[in-house]
Structure 1
Amino acid sequence: MIRIVCILQVMLLLNAELVLAQYKRETKPWWPTREEILARYEKAKWLDSAAKTAVYYQSVQPVWEENGTGFWFKRTHPDSTVEFLKVDPTKRNRFKAFDHQRLADSLSFVAAKRLTADRLPITVTTVNRTANKIEFSYDQKRWQADLGTYSIEAISLNERFGRRNSNGTGWTRRSHWMSFGTDALSPDKKWKAVVVNNNIQIQSENGEIKKQLTTDGTDTATYGSVAWSPDSRYFIFYRIVPYKDSVIHYIKKAVAGTSRGQHYAIPYKQPGDPFTTYEMMVYRLGEERPKKIQTPIMDFFSAPYLHFSKKSPGKFLFERVDRGHQRFRILEADSETGLARTIYDEQSSTFIYESRIFTDYNLDKEELILSSEKDGWRHLYLLDISSGKIKNPITSGNWIVREIDSIDYKKRQIWFRASGIQPGEDPYYVHHCRIGMDGKNLVVLNPERGHHQVSYSPDGNYFLDTYSEVNKAPVITLRSPVNGKHIMTVEQPDTSRLLQLKLPAPMPFTAKARDGITDIWGVVCWPTDLDSGKQYPVIENIYAGPQDAFVPKSFLPYSEMQSLAALGFVVVQIDGMGTANRSKAFHDVCWKNLADAGFPDRINWIRSLAQSYPWVDTNRVGLYGTSAGGQNALGGLLFHPGFYKAAVSACGCHDNRVDKQWWNEQWMGYPLGKHYEEQSNITNAGKLKGELLLIVGDEDSNVPPESTYRVADALIKQGKHFEMLTIPGMGHSDGGPYGRIRKRDFFVRSLLHLLPPQRN
């Protein structure tokens, strides 16, 4: 705790000095000499190296014991020696997990390579307390060690003594969508539903054909995706009309041993492309023919996961999201009648975030838990399946449920993660909670201010809690999931080397959004050797993808942003409106509106920062980003040229019609409308003002490279000047180490008007 207090004191003193300095002298723009900028390059290079080993003991990666209560973790010391420690919650202490010398001697013998006890290069993956054995990886192989005899043997995956250690959440989320194979064995193992020549046959266990169910299947309209009911009386299958996605093409241009480019292509679904369709059918053993389930043909995603009723085995539930992401339903089908009824129907005038829909089925009680943002915040509800009515909200309030960690139907309790639940702090911080399914007895298990990351023990009796803030070192403790009670401190970070670097700490900052009410949160990295009498250019690290929020919340001792700041820039990162993890209204700003990218909020935020800290120069503002951030970076120059003056755009999805289907239709909607074209960076290329560097990997399979090439083509046709860096063989990336060097050199030229180091 002493180390933590020290770093906080230094940070507070530094920020206090900066605040006081603004009143002492008038600021003026900083225009360094070339000698000054070359010295800063050297300082940044030194910091990049020194900061790698500036903090020790800041994280614990637990390997929980199987058939035990404690966990193991690997501890690396400043001299690069390592030790493996065991934490015993019952004794509230930690100690060496095994005899390091004996294990080193045994492993040296079987691996035919001398290893030392204090530098064991192994990764422990499984600990079985009852068997007193461990599994670990070394030299790209898996090994098993008996800690009684210290005998070691190499093992294959099917020889393992136990299950792979989980992440401790106690919860595994099933996908909503599940396609099945072509050869499905019934649960009682008496029958097989087999796809032969695009048609369905029923075969006995020895392969004898008992019934030919369909005969009209073809390559263009086949049958398949079979799922049996648990009682083996029914099975569901589909008449499938497959759609083969079009491809995007690549040329490998630098293949060793060849003198020609090598062509390859990959399937790639873009917005508006059709999907394979599924028509649901059911067959009951002994009946003459199958029947259709009376529900519209599914033309979005694949065959759904089926949840068979325990009270009425012929009935089953399935989920459906309509294309366009504005309607989500849970339906119940009856195998006897072929009829289907809607259990739950949620519709939105904007979007429903499909990949964050949570459902869990308690079929013994004919109920299910589901998430919804229908009241403006993401919360959990308990639904009665038979009536289709909400029994009760489980969570409520002006905060959101982020994830579900565990569900205990016997105790009627849920463990989950929440953001915004603790008043007076950053609303993105995650806290871990427990609540009754009746919505009562809410307990915040780790209420301490900060962003919390947790690992639960497999038996649910303990959890490891690591919490920190961007400028505050982690606290790592073991706690009780019953009431959050502190059991013991597991680790204490050593930040002494970080303090010696005299780096300004990253600083959280808030300002009002465009509505003048909502708080916008971001972080600032100040230049090293900051002179408060001078004004420094601003560079925004931007990513406005609506799928999440992106400003770091955990301890950030050093980052690329701080390295860039060392050159003499104020580097910021902001979560504007339209990003996730806040209210539904906050998120809805992105709907059919990706070009907005929260820019009004970001610009207000940077201007507010300058009002509080006069050494922030809002006349020299640049931005950089990758992927959606690449789209945003160029968008800043196109749509807000009065504020942003320079941008580095890496592998941007510059036109949402060219990028992947699932991401773009989620936010831009379906069917495609004029707004797709109107918001395209390609369509708006003629508006370019300021300086631009485009970066693209020519083998990007995430965002097709033609997205960047097409915007380059449009810029050329408009007579615009820009720089472009194509990296052969690179996939979806910011340009890698070379691209990052080119990025910082670009900003030195464009915002400081200086030549970077001569690198040739």
Structure 2
Amino acid sequence: MTPDDQALGPEDYERAAQLWPSELLKRATNLLIVPTWLPGEDRFWFRHEHRDGHEFLLVDAATGARCPAFDHELAARALGGDPTRLPVEGVEYDGDSVILSVDGARLRIEPRDGSSTELPVPDLNGFLGPRGEELFVRDHNLWVRTPSGTERQLTTDGEEHYGWAEAPDASDDRIDRDRTGRPPGTIGCFWNPDGTRALVPRVDERAVTAYPFVENIPHDGDVLPKVRYVRGKMSGDAEDSRWEWYLLDVADGSRVRVGSLPGELRILPWHAWWTARGTIVALASTTAQDQAAAVEIDATTGAARVVYLEYDHMFRFNNVWFHDDNVRYLPERHELLWFTFASGWPHLWLIDLATGAARQVTDGDWVVQDVVRTVGRQVFFTAGGVEPGRNPYLRALYRVDLDGTEPNAGLKCLTPEDADHAFPAVPFGAVTRDSGQSADLRSCLAPSGKYFVDNISRVDLPPVIMLRDADGKDVCELARADTSGLDEIGWTPPEVFRAKAADGETDVWGVLVKPRRFAERDSWPVLERIYGGHQVLAQPRSFLEGLNGMFMFGLHSLAEMGFAVVLLDGPGTPIRSRAFRDLTWGERDRFGIKHHRAAIEDAARTRPWMDLTRVGVSGHSSGGYGTVMAMLLEPDFYAVGFASSPALDPSVSSAYVPEPHFGKPDYGDGRSARRTPDEIAPNYARLSPSTYAARLSGRLAIVYGDLDEQVEPPGVLRFTAALIDAGKDFDVLPLPGRDHHYTTEPYYQKRLWDYFVEHVQGRAPLRHHRLDVAPGERLHVT
């Protein structure tokens, strides 16, 4: 029995809720500034925050001179709000008038009398062409909408699961679309420069597995469950979605089919460029991402040829999945800027598309992170680890020339401070939505390449935002964070640490989050928040990420319950060398759990307050898999686990989840497709937690949503069946009606806190207590 004096009370939860992410964000200002540049100018507007509100400023980048972006009092009268707290999301200028985007609407405000007129809102589901026409999908067919609003149908043969430019089922939102009646998104339309033709896809999913999801509590109130089908290739399936590409004449709807590519290569719907040579350059890859290619398409005949092909068991066009690809077409010399680990480190190369010859643009034992912009014959990009001795994950902005005879020609660091210089990446795939305009204008680097906005911070260094020129010289300070509100409640930033992996040589970096009442004289149980996937960085780099990064959500509140929380990126994760990335490839311990354990033990050698006799682990999605494998592969270290939406069984998962993580299933004889429905690939069985279910010795909770399109519930239940067969005790929390994205719900967070309080600390949580906080939102990867 837990002593009554150790039981938690409401005050414990109130103290933790004070550090809820949205509450922390209310207490700090100017944590990240991304300017919006005026078309064709080196001027931009941004939102400048104060403790008691905010204002919108217009800045001349050449001089740093600033003025109000519009008349705030006039706008407040038109909007019926407070001039110091206007909910403006966008600012445009049309002569003397200003157009403000507010809550999904666009309002033109006249400067003379403050009158306002509502304007049409562009349909973000379509693709705008150079003449203002828009391609969009309706009833599985392509339509075009003129600037005047006239609509014309371009195709008539589209059908369900064989639609034109229609997002495939396996897009993580099919069930929500079914429940709400929302149409699928339009994808992959690439206009030619004069707006007369477009490269468009047609996706054939008719032969692909229709996976059944049971909606136990139907959205429409029906008392009987409904079955929702989502089509997508499952592990071991022979059939996959077939992507057909066409050259479509927008005037009459006539089409030319693009020729097929060798092997399993298929053109990707994210990047394609029409060239002045009568061709189209596009990117191609395989489902498993073990091959990538540059493809050139004859714009008249549709004939396609592979110009450049690369093999890599984990090819990436960027280190991080959710960032835009680090590939750019350079029309003046018909070249392609390429991103590859070919040298052992992720670097930029240049491909001559006429000859296929490739040469290296950047080189060294450091990491190119995001291409920010190409300007003329120069490339601006972020990189980490260039300066010796620094945290390799921190971003700095660099410039390099493309015409050098050797790599790193004219390489220059434009942000010298030992800090993170956050240049938020364009979200993956977004640049094609409206011909790149919004991505081009909403960027820390001016379209001209002459100026940039530099967000300078670390998890322990509040941001200072500088305006600088293309040589890195200061123009002016734009803003600096006010974190006095955090100081008022005694908030402390995460502690960055470096430790050794299990080989005793490899450096592992991460952060420690401590409670406000932390004292080194006390002993603190340790919790690890694990991810381990190859495609996303888990640890925070900037001050904003330290408050509410993608994997930091709720960690300050969790620590406040009496824990030291660890978040690290071990071998097998991105933004390091190929050797670091591949250290766990092919092992049953694919997520490098032994390296996580070794790093925590190494950190504890100089931090005796870390109590390694009481260690718990939690994670979501791939982190759920990592949590379960930690409990099974290192059971004498990790005693308590809380795994949500764990991608547990690669043999019964959507192929798009395990193949990039683990490689293709290998059934022998070179087969990656099963012969019988019950055939299990030996390499996947070796990676399945079910194989090791008998090793469970600690306390494990498993959480899942019954409508999770990324982690199919039957895969989770197969593991629970293996635990039952092994006679193991465990806890299960099913969340009805939830998809993959529920970890910011207060109910989920409290159940996580309580599990560790009860089973790691041995204290009694307060049952049936509702957290008085709003559901949160995780910061997207920046």
TM-score bracket relative to the smaller structure: 0.7 to 0.9
1:54 is matched with: 27
Candidates 314, 320, 324, aligned match of 1:351: 314
Question: How is 1:502-581 mapped onto 2 (pairs within 5 angstroms)?
Answer: 502-555=490-543, 556-557=546-547, 560-581=554-575
What do the CA deviations read for 1:551-588 (whole angstroms, capped 9, x no partner)?
01111257521211112111110100000010011111
How big is the shift at 1:367? 2.7
Native 8 Å contact 1:650 1:735 kept in 2 = no
TM-score (norm 1): 0.78
1:441 counterpart letter in structure 2: G
2:687 is matched with: 679
- Aligned residue for 2:689, secondary structure, equals coil
How big is the shift at 1:278? 6.3
1:379 is matched with: 347
Return closer, same or farther for 1:282/1:611 CA change in 2, 3 Å cut-off: closer
Native 8 Å contact 2:7 2:764 kept in 1 = no
In structure 2, C-alpha distance between the alignment counterparts of 1:196 and 1:53, rounded to whole Å: 52
Native 8 Å contact 1:657 1:676 kept in 2 = yes
Native 8 Å contact 1:310 1:364 kept in 2 = no
In structure 1, C-alpha distance between the alignment counterparts of 2:347 and 2:286, rounded to whole Å: 21
Native 8 Å contact 2:616 2:639 kept in 1 = yes
How big is the shift at 1:117? 2.8
Q: Which runs of 5+ in 2 are unaligned?
A: 129-139, 146-152, 160-187, 249-255, 320-324, 424-443, 667-680, 770-782
Q: Which moved more, 1:640-649 or 1:733-742?
A: 733-742
What do the CA deviations read for 1:511-569 (whole angstroms, capped 9, x no partner)?
11223222100000123322433321100011111112110111125752121111211
In structure 2, C-alpha distance between the alignment counterparts of 1:292 and 1:107, rounded to whole Å: 50
Structure 1 residue 445 corresponds to structure 2 residue 396: no
In structure 2, C-alpha distance between the alignment counterparts of 1:258 and 1:280, rounded to whole Å: 41
1:245 is matched with: 209
Structure 1 residue 606 corresponds to structure 2 residue 571: no
1:266 is matched with: 230
In terms of Rg, which structure is larger?
Answer: 1
Return closer, same or farther for 1:532/1:322 CA change in 2, 3 Å cut-off: closer
What do the CA deviations read for 1:62-100 (whole angstroms, capped 9, x no partner)?
333345433323344334x33333333344343433332
How big is the shift at 1:749? 1.0
What do the CA deviations read for 1:664-694 (whole angstroms, capped 9, x no partner)?
2112112444121111122322221100111
Kindly report the root-mean-square deviation, in angstroms, between the aligned alpha carbons of the 2 structures.
3.9
How big is the shift at 1:39? 5.5
Return closer, same or farther for 1:76/1:753 CA change in 2, 3 Å cut-off: same
In structure 2, C-alpha distance between the alignment counterparts of 1:269 and 1:626, rounded to whole Å: 23
Number of aligned residue pairs: 662
Candidates 153, 156, 171, aligned match of 2:117: 153
Return closer, same or farther for 1:78/1:227 CA change in 2, 3 Å cut-off: closer
Native 8 Å contact 2:317 2:327 kept in 1 = no
Structure 1 residue 473 corresponds to structure 2 residue 438: no
Candidates 423, 435, 441, aligned match of 2:388: 423
Question: How is 1:203-352 mapped onto 2 (pairs within 5 angstroms)?
Answer: 243-253=207-217, 255=219, 257-273=221-237, 274-277=239-242, 296=262, 300=266, 310-311=276-277, 313=278, 319-322=283-286, 324-331=288-295, 342-348=306-312, 350-352=313-315
Native 8 Å contact 2:110 2:116 kept in 1 = yes
In structure 1, C-alpha distance between the alignment counterparts of 2:755 and 2:640, rounded to whole Å: 9
1:691 is matched with: 699
Native 8 Å contact 1:466 1:475 kept in 2 = yes
- Aligned residue for 1:585, secondary structure, equals helix
2:410 counterpart letter in structure 1: N
1:647 is matched with: 641
2:614 counterpart letter in structure 1: R
- Aligned residue for 1:682, secondary structure, equals helix
Q: Which moved more, 1:412-421 or 1:317-326?
A: 317-326
Return closer, same or farther for 1:619/1:721 CA change in 2, 3 Å cut-off: same
Native 8 Å contact 2:30 2:480 kept in 1 = yes
1:368 is matched with: 336
Native 8 Å contact 1:417 1:430 kept in 2 = yes
Q: Which moved more, 1:593-602 or 1:393-402?
A: 593-602
In structure 2, C-alpha distance between the alignment counterparts of 1:611 and 1:322, rounded to whole Å: 45
Q: Which moved more, 1:665-674 or 1:69-78?
A: 69-78
Candidates 116, 120, 127, aligned match of 2:92: 127
Identity %: 28
Return closer, same or farther for 1:107/1:75 CA change in 2, 3 Å cut-off: same
Candidates 403, 424, 436, aligned match of 2:370: 403
In structure 2, C-alpha distance between the alignment counterparts of 1:740 and 1:491, rounded to whole Å: 34
1:758 is matched with: 767
2:378 is matched with: 413
Return closer, same or farther for 1:590/1:736 CA change in 2, 3 Å cut-off: farther
1:138 is matched with: 102
- Aligned residue for 1:634, secondary structure, equals helix
Return closer, same or farther for 1:292/1:66 CA change in 2, 3 Å cut-off: closer
1:175 is matched with: none
Candidates 712, 733, 736, aligned match of 1:728: 736
Native 8 Å contact 2:141 2:158 kept in 1 = no
In structure 2, C-alpha distance between the alignment counterparts of 1:47 and 1:196, rounded to whole Å: 55
1:415 counterpart letter in structure 2: F
2:523 counterpart letter in structure 1: Q
- Aligned residue for 2:76, secondary structure, equals helix
In structure 2, C-alpha distance between the alignment counterparts of 1:77 and 1:282, rounded to whole Å: 51
Native 8 Å contact 2:466 2:478 kept in 1 = yes
TM-score (norm 2): 0.76
1:218 is matched with: none
Structure 1 residue 98 corresponds to structure 2 residue 106: no
1:111 is matched with: none
1:435 counterpart letter in structure 2: V
Candidates 3, 25, 46, aligned match of 1:73: 46
In structure 2, C-alpha distance between the alignment counterparts of 1:291 and 1:50, rounded to whole Å: 54
In structure 1, C-alpha distance between the alignment counterparts of 2:327 and 2:656, rounded to whole Å: 20
1:709 is matched with: 717
2:171 is matched with: none
- Aligned residue for 2:337, secondary structure, equals strand
In structure 1, C-alpha distance between the alignment counterparts of 2:74 and 2:189, rounded to whole Å: 53
Q: Which runs of 5+ in 1 are unaligned?
A: 1-29, 109-114, 165-179, 186-191, 199-224, 284-289
How big is the shift at 1:41? 3.8
In structure 2, C-alpha distance between the alignment counterparts of 1:700 and 1:616, rounded to whole Å: 36
Q: Which moved more, 1:272-281 or 1:507-516?
A: 272-281
In structure 1, C-alpha distance between the alignment counterparts of 2:562 and 2:453, rounded to whole Å: 39
Native 8 Å contact 1:230 1:308 kept in 2 = yes
How big is the shift at 1:397? 0.7
In structure 1, C-alpha distance between the alignment counterparts of 2:15 and 2:708, rounded to whole Å: 33
Return closer, same or farther for 1:249/1:294 CA change in 2, 3 Å cut-off: closer
Return closer, same or farther for 1:159/1:723 CA change in 2, 3 Å cut-off: closer
What do the CA deviations read for 1:161-204 (whole angstroms, capped 9, x no partner)?
xx99xxxxxxxxxxxxxxx977999xxxxxx9978699xxxxxx
Return closer, same or farther for 1:654/1:297 CA change in 2, 3 Å cut-off: closer
1:360 counterpart letter in structure 2: R
1:351 counterpart letter in structure 2: M
How big is the shift at 1:337? 11
1:155 counterpart letter in structure 2: L
Return closer, same or farther for 1:131/1:296 CA change in 2, 3 Å cut-off: same
How big is the shift at 1:126? 2.8
